[in-house]
Amino acid sequence: MSASPTVSGPNTTVNRRPTRRWSASPSLAQAFDTRNNALNVWRLVLASGVILQHSWPLTGRKIYPPIEQLLTQVWVDGFFAISGFLITASWVRNPRLREYFVARILRIFPGLWVCLAVVAFVIAPIGVAIQGGSPAKLLLSPAPIQYVLNNAVLNVYHTGIDGTPRNVPFPGVWDGVLWTLIFEFFCYIAIAVAGVAGLLKRRWPAPVVFGLFLVAAALVSYPVGRAENIVQMITRFALVFAAGTLLHQFQDRIPARWSLVAVSAAIVVVAGLLVPNYRVLGAVPLAYAVVVSGALIRNQRLRLRTDLSYGVYIYAWPLQQLLVICGLGFLHPLAFTVVAAIATLPLAALSWFLVEKRALALKSRFKRKARGWDGVVAEAPPPAHTAAGD
């Protein structure tokens, strides 16, 4: 007697082979809901990991191998991988150059500009006052304005304000994460160029570009714990961003399975411990792990309607510097991370609700005007909570 399942019709019974579990798995395209996913939770986890990463150097301590690469590289790389997936999706969904860049600008710059003002005119003067200096002298100098204006246009190498912060393990740097934003914006430009050229309408450019950056990353390597050059920075961020783009372009062929998420995470960990530049082996697994798990998580409590990650990312370093100035640098880095996270979350929440969310709401208004100018009816935009990497 045959054990094969059958499909019965009105006149006949047809034998069918058992469906393989691989083919029974939903594809990433089927599993990922742009309006209801857990990527906001992942971004918050990654931003918290950046706080953890910086708690060592900002308190004057060194992270030692073999965990140094994992603890200092994966968090920001995860952000870029998610962005690669979502920004590509944004262009494919709405390939209008003006609207695309308006969305990108509204996502990055309003929150950044307010953060720069808070650092220059609130946090830095408080730090100066705690150390016995004159906050009035600092505020009346051109230094705060220069800091804001330079960083507002992503001249992110203008790091200090009149030499402050001083007498800390990491002096002269008030917000040491801002330098990554210029590379994020370059990736946005690259997607726009590829989109205008029609390359995002086809699959083949994604693996070709990823392969080129993979070879480049293998050739130039990446110095963990030491100063890196511009070529190494470009290959690092371009590779993980391209991995996210690769996932998007093949999402209908990529199975979304928890077992593959676990395997991908294991590859990232092993590569981070054993391979000098873990991205050579781990870029795609990292992108798969964060994006697919974000699609598969079903717990509604983990599908956040708010995205505090950007605020956490840009406010944590200044507050960590202020905590060190206040004398808390003696804490173990893990304890320091907890204190810094508690201090950062209120500012991140204010940034989201008062600045970022309101700025993102302007996207739909701009779309209505733009479509009106073109004589086209505006389509309903995704809700604001999905737009952080969009």
Q: What is the pLDDT of residues 26-74, one digit of tens each?
A: 999 999 998 889 999 999 999 999 999 999 999 999 998 889 999 999 9
pLDDT of residue 356: 97
86-141 pLDDT, tens digit each: 999 999 999 999 999 999 999 999 999 999 999 999 999 999 999 999 999 999 99
**Residue 279: CA count within 13 A, CB half-sphere:** 36
322-333 pLDDT, tens digit each: 999 999 999 999
DSSP, residue by residue, 210-235:
HHHHHHHHHHH---TTS---HHHHHH
Query: How many angstroms separate the first and last alpha carbons of the chain?
Result: 55
Phi/psi zone of residue 107: left (φ > 0), alpha (ψ -120 to 50 degrees), beta? alpha
Torsion of CA 34, 387, 312, 67, to 10 degrees: 50
pLDDT of residue 366: 74
What is residue 205's three-state secondary structure?
A: helix
Nearest-angstrom CA–CA distance, 117 and 355? 13
201-241 pLDDT, tens digit each: 999 999 999 999 999 999 987 777 676 789 999 999 999 99
